[in-house]
Homo-oligomer: A and B are copies of this chain.
Amino acid sequence: MSTGGQATELWLLWKRAYETTRAAIIADMSAASGLSESELSVLVCLHESGGVLRQNAIAAVLGWDRTRLSHLLTRMEKRDYVARGKVGNGVEVTLRPAGRRTIDASVPALEVSTRRHLLDRLDPGDATTLKAIVERLLSEDSR
């Protein structure tokens, strides 16, 4: 039947589990706040940094392409979630009241949703192990 090797098999399983979990969390968050996944990511970034960040820094934290962020911020600016201002070389992104209200409401909802779809489905030991594993994957960046 399956001709995939060990590594492929693990990858496909991981992929499917991640995407299933992701879909569930996105659905929750979209219902709770009307935010898309990307918008939420950006707002969480800003929230955790006090509300102001260089566009550059956001892209780095999220591991995103500059272009993608630029397009997204253009859309978010229109909805008045954030403002952009030139700073020397680059651009500074600032959380605006509407964005702050939304993200303040979303952070607790996100914790509830991630707990329900992820943390509560794992044994306490597994949660610890999973965290260790992903941290190792992220740190061994001999990319």
B-contacting residues of A (Cβ < 8 Å)? 1-8, 10-25, 44, 47-49, 63, 107, 110-111, 114-115, 118-119, 121-122, 126-127, 129-138, 140, 143
Contact = CB atoms under 8 A, between A and B. Distances in A.
A114 B11 contact: yes
A133 B129 contact: yes
A22 B16 contact: no
Contacts of A1: 48-49
> How many copies of this chain does one complex carry?
2
Contacts of A63: 16, 19-20, 23
Contacts of A122: 133, 136-137
A4 B121 contact: no
A48 B3 contact: yes
A11 B21 CA distance: 10
B7 A119 contact: yes
Given A133-B122, A140-B121, A111 B5 contact: yes
A137 B118 CA distance: 8
Nearest to A118: B11
Given A11-B25, A133-B126, A119 B6 contact: yes
B13 A22 contact: no
Given A130-B130, A134-B13, A47 B3 contact: yes
